[in-house]
Each structure stands twice: as C-alpha cells, then as structure tokens.
Chain A
Amino acid sequence: MEKIRSLKFPPYTSRVERAWHYGHRLICLLILVFLLLPILVMIPLSFSDSTLLLYPIQSFSFKWYSALFHSDDWIRAAKNSFIVAPSATLIATVLGTLAAAGLHRIEFHGKGLLMAVLISPMIVPLVVVGVGIYLFFAPYGLVNNYSGLILAHAALGAPFVLTTVTATLQGFNDNLIRASYSLGANPLRTFFKITLPIIAPGVIAGALFAFATSFDEIVVTLFLAGPEQATLPRQMFTGIRENISPIIAAVATILIIFSTALLLTLEWLRGRAQAKTVASGGTPGH
C-alpha cells in the first residue's frame, strides 16, 4: 500500500489517464487563477501613478493612498464601519452565545423549528430584509441613524454566532460542568470559569463571522443608512457606480489585507478549537 502510494502512478495507468491527470491539474490551477487573479490585480493598481485603472503600470506612487487618507467621505465611511460593525458584533455575539448555550442544554419538541427561525436571517434574501426593516423602522425614526443599522446588522450576524458556538458545544464535555457544580460553583461562575474559556475559540470565530457580515454588508445598509451613516461598502458602491477611480483600488487593497488577516485568525482559532475540545475529553469539533 505504502509502496503503491509512493509511486507517482500505479503501474497499470494508461497514457490517456496520465494525460488526464496533468490536464485535470492544469484545469484546477486555472480555476485557482480565476479565483485569485481578480483580487490580486487590484493591489498593484493602487500604487499606480495614473488616474486610469489600466495595465501596464507606467510609474508607481502613493498618491492614491494619500488622497484616500485626505478624503472626508472615505474617512467618515471608515469611521462609520468601525462604529457599526463592532456594535453589531457585540450584540450578535452575546445573544448568539447565550442562545447556543441554552439550546445545547435541552431537547424539546420543535427545537428544529426554533433553530430554523433563529438562523433564518442567513436565508431570507437581503432585499426582503432591507425593505421589511426599512418600512417597519421608518415610523419609529430608526432609519438614517446608527441604531437601526446596528440592530439590523446584529440580526444578520447573530445566526453565524449561534451556529458556530453550537458546533463548538457539540464537542464539549458536559461532565466538566457537573464537576464544577459538585465542587460548589454556581451556574454563573461555572459559565465564566469553565464553559466560556473552553468554547472561547468558537465564540471568537462566531464574532469574526458576525463582524465580517456587518463590515461587508451593503444591501440592508442601502435601505437603512442615510448619507451620514455611509459605511465603507456603501461608499464603494457609490464610488463604483459614479466614477471608478484608483482610490477604489487603494481601499480594495486595504480591505483585502484586512479580510485576509481576519481569515487567518479564524483558521488559527479553528486549529486551537480542535485542540482544546480534544484536550477537554470531547470529540473534535467541526
């Protein structure tokens, strides 16, 4: 077995199969290029000296970054994004984690249905969410300000926290809680001293999902945010529709670096979550 594996091809492989093997590889590499190239092309363009987003790049400069950091619109959009996304993430994470902990403890009739309702913001088309919340919030003065936007984004992010923490809890060893109770700790203390540290990677991963959801959300924002609450995606939407300039490439580059950092943090957490649940005596998480 080991020997066969160590060979590049089993001895019975025909020439067509070998050609196919390399052909398949080539196709897959092309698909990867298709996935990554659009993102990579933006980065060099952000350092171009030209006003046109065109290759080849004649000369390089930081002028678009400097224009970006001197633009009131973009600075305000960044500020708004860093007001809305963390607030929405906080609400989503607290509510989602509590609900996951509650649902983990009990079995009852209709649990599946309740779960389906709780994660429904992931499924309902965003335009429907946007129009529904817009028409409902407008009479209460919750449009064109931060509170409505934060509440809506929290609702969109909470299901991600719920599902991530639920998955983490599936690998959780309930004996640890019983041990904690038997040693005299109350439920609150047990939650903060035992449960939370063990499921922390799942909670943080859920929070990252919720943050990314809000940070990249545009459809609901278009309905709920006034000009004063324009977030980064909203500002990009306007920028792309009106006149796409290299400032967009500069913003894109920063966002690409930012989201890649988020992703790598998440992957690192996933590794830790698996290690932790194994250590706590549970089965590895998903």
Chain B
Amino acid sequence: MDAAQVLLVVMWVGVTLYALLAGADFGGGIWDLLAGRSRAGMPQRRLIEHSIGPVWEANHVWLIFVIVVLWTGFPPVFAAVMSTLYIPLTLAALGIIARGAAFAFRKASTELWQQRLFGAAFATSSVLTPFFLGAVAGAVASGRVPPGLAAGDLLRSWLNPTSLLGGVLAVAVCAYLAAVYLCDDAVRAGSPELAGRFRHRALATGLVVGAVALGGISVIRWDAPRLFDGLTHRALALVVAGAVLGLLSLVLLWRRHYLSVRVTAALAVAAVVWGWPLAQYPVMLHPSLTVDEAAAVPAVLHATLLVLAVGALLVLPSMAWLFVLQRRSLHDPGAHG
C-alpha cells in the first residue's frame, strides 16, 4: 500500500469509529426523545445520560479527525464535497451545535421546563444530524458530487433516493446501536426491567435496519447502478458478512447475550461502512477522480501519518482508561449529579 491508501484506510477507521460511537450517542438522543413523558421517562433518560456522559465530547473529535484528514490528504475531494453539499452539511452542523449545547445545558439546568426544552432540542437534533450526514454519504456514493467547487446540483445532489436511503439508514442504525449498548448498561446499572425494554427496542430497530437495507438494494440498483455493481461484486463479501452478523445479533439479543451482541452489532455496522469505499475504490468522486489524483504530495501524507501514529500512542491508552473509569462508575449511578 502506498501512503495515500494508508491514509485513506486511517480516515475510514475514523469514519467507522464515528459511526459506532457517535452513532450510539445520536441513538441515545433518539431514545431520549421516545422515552415517554417527563416523569415516566426519567429513569431511561438518566441511564442514557449516564451512559453517554463521559464519552460524548470525545465523539466530536472523530468527526473533526475525518474532516481534517480529508482536507489534508485529499483536498480536492474535501473542497468538492463541502461546496456542493453545503446545505445538508450546514444543517448537520446546526444539529451538532444544538445537540451539544442542549445536552450540556440540560445537565446544568434544574427546572423541569428547561430540562424539557433542552431535552427536546437535544433529541430532535439527534435525529436530524445523522439523517443529513447519511444523506451526504448517499450523495457521494451515488456519484452526484463531481470534482470542482460547487460543481454539483445544490439540491438534487442530496435530495434523491440514495441520499434519502442513506439518511434513513443512518438514523435507524444509530437507534439500533444505542439500544444494543444500553441493554448491557442497564444490566450493569442494576435495572433488568430497563434492559428488557431496550432489548425490545433493539430487536425492533434491528428488524427495521434489516428491512431498510434490503429495500435499499433495489433503490441503489435503480438509482446508483455503479454503486450497486461495486457492492454486488468487489464488496460482496462484506455485504454478506454484514447481513450474517446482523442476523446473528438478533439471535443473541433474543437470547439476552448483551455483551456479545455489542460486538456483533458493531461488526455488522462496520462491515456495511467498509463496503461502500470498497465498492467504489479507486474512484473517490465520480466519474473519474481517483485516490491517486486527489492525494496530497507524499511529504504531506508521510508527515500526517507520522503525526497520527504518535497521536494514537497518546490517545488510545487515555481513551481505554476513560472507558474503564466510566464502566467502574456505572456501579453506583446517582452518586454524582
């Protein structure tokens, strides 16, 4: 592999982690929205808040990481995607503002009406942000973002069947991941009753994700034939792996193996996330901008990879420590306001 390919893989690891961690984080917001009335939903909201409390700020970093690697490593792709898709990306950015601010404010506010207001902003933006990000993915994957500044159609690039599919699938996956993660957290927090509820939700959203993905095959075949071709040929193994792992996750959920379903559900989503670039490699932007043409000069690629390697040495152990700390503290929720 040359430096550009390595950097592309590293960037996609960032995308995957964003999908798996921030995805669950967004999903937590969706379940917060559906938790029911203020008082009845309180235990669920508290569990959600407690689960994502220590990690959600770090999740911004995955997104920033992907953005920075994209503009450093593949600047023409970054410029084309951001300029053509500025409307959904601005809306996603607004969702990120509303979400982050509302979550922090809700934690700090004491009165019910404020908690409801901030809670509503938090939950609504938890749905909208992944939807728009999914729509952006659908736009790029269906070849509607040509190279150049704002060269694509500003509206049809993201208002199309594949983008809609991408948006819906993203929201459904977020809800599913969050429900799966919360089952185990609920057990650890000593609430089998809550775990049971999230198990039902995980099963239901898992079926929804499966149905959307199955239906999506025909949408992609009709709307984005090149992508369909890639997915059914080169990326077929990953697509099949995603389906099998998805089914396995449902079985594990059914049998209440909450810890192992965390792994299989995450792997199923990761398989789909990796299927997309594999399907369209080496083209980054249709019709013909390839990885090699878009890549920065070798000196930049090498320096960036070096910096990221050193960064990983700093970040990964710290992150592991944070997760250990958080899991340990799940034993006594409520000790901290």
Are A and B a genuine interacting pair, yes or no? no
**Which residues of B are interface residues toward A (Cβ below 8 A)?**
none
**Which residues of A are interface residues toward B (Cβ below 8 A)?**
none
